[in-house]
Amino acid sequence: MIIIANWKAYVEDIGKAKELFTVSKKLAKDTGNGIVLAPPAPLLGILAAKNASSVAFGAQDISATTGGAETGEITAQTYAAAGATYAIVGHSERRARGDTDTLVSEKLRHALAHGLTPVLCIGEHSRDTDGRYLSFIREELTTAISPLTPRERGKIVLAYEPLWAIGKTASEAIAADDLAEMTLYIKKVLAEIFSGKSSARIPVLYGGSVEPDNVRALAELAGIDGFLVGHASVDPRLFALLVKQLA
């Protein structure tokens, strides 16, 4: 299982960041799960500089630029130089601040060009009874990865994160059987995009109120390869409880 801890802007000091890093190193060792920490950029720089563990680091977002006169932008190359090996791209909280499908696609390319594994986030805003959310997912996924070469496409990780399930509690997250259905659908769309070749190797993660109370059911029933965890990843006790259930 891959567990990506999206710290968002919840963690703002180095003491807390170090505590979470220490817990994560032990969890990765004890459970054999792949843990990727996505701290705010300056904290990533500090932690990743001294990293000799199996815990990996990921950017929460990367710039769509390639450097130069771009005040405030942090490029894929900078993240790679700081020790990141993953980059979350197209998170709904970035899309809400203006990331379009085209921009998301450019960011995927930049991440790949600098050796970062992009974690492409897709997810519908809400669910309707006539299945329009399925077309939305198909469109979002296809628009983001169609411009990539087959080789590039083979290197991405996908995170299905329905917006209605983000930042809530386990009881309001997606039900395991609904996630199982969506996972199958996403794999079918991927197989179409890849014309059947090698799409099975693309890991599909789930994110949206993953907590110790629902993680096991989702992992057992839904056919997914891991989780993108937000609020439960910044509480060391909750995060440990959650990851241990995936051992």
The rounded Cα 53 to chain-centroid distance in angstroms is 20
CB of 245 to ligand PGA, least distance (A): 15
Q: Does 60 bind ligand PGA (CB under 6 A)?
A: no
Nearer to ligand PGA, 10 or 194 (CB): 10
Which residue of this chain has its Cβ atom nearest to ligand PGA in the complex? 230
Q: Report the residue number, 44 or 228, with the smaller CB distance to ligand PGA.
A: 228
Residue among 199 and 230 whose Cβ is closer to ligand PGA = 230
d(CA 110, CA 217): 35
Cβ–Cβ < 8 Å for 215, 239: no
Number of amino acids touching ligand PGA (CB under 6 A): 13
Set 106, 140, 161, 211: catalytic member: 161
Of residues 72-131, those binding ligand PGA (CB under 6 A) = none
Is position 214 an interface residue for ligand PGA (rule: CB under 6 A)?
no
Q: How far is the CB of 215 from ligand PGA (least distance, A)?
A: 11
Active site residue 125: no
Q: Within 10 A of 139 (CB to CB), how many other CB atoms are there? A: 13
**CB under 8 A, 24+ apart: contacts of 186-192:** 186/137, 186/141, 186/158, 186/160, 189/137, 189/138, 189/141, 189/142, 190/141, 190/158
Q: Site residues for ligand PGA, window 62-81 (CB under 6 A)?
A: none
Q: Which of residues 152-211 bind ligand PGA (CB under 6 A)?
A: 161, 166-167, 207-210
Beta bridge pairs of residue 207: 228
Q: Measured from the CB atom, is 114 or 231 closer to ligand PGA?
A: 231
Instruction: Tell me the window of 15-23, 51-59, 224-232, 235-243 that interacts with ligand PGA (CB under 6 A).
Output: 224-232
**Calpha distance 164→12 (Å, rounded):** 26
**Catalytic option among 91, 110, 114, 231:** 91
Q: Which residues contact residue 2 at a Cβ distance below 8 angstroms, ignoring those fewer than 6 apart?
A: 33, 34, 36, 157, 203, 205, 225, 226, 227
Active-site residue, 91 included: yes
Which two tokens mark 204?
């599909």
What's the full length of the chain, in residues?
247
- Compare residues 166 and 179 and give the one whose CB is closer to ligand PGA: 166
Residues that bind ligand PGA (CB under 6 A): 6, 161, 166-167, 207-210, 228-232
Catalytic site positions: 91, 161
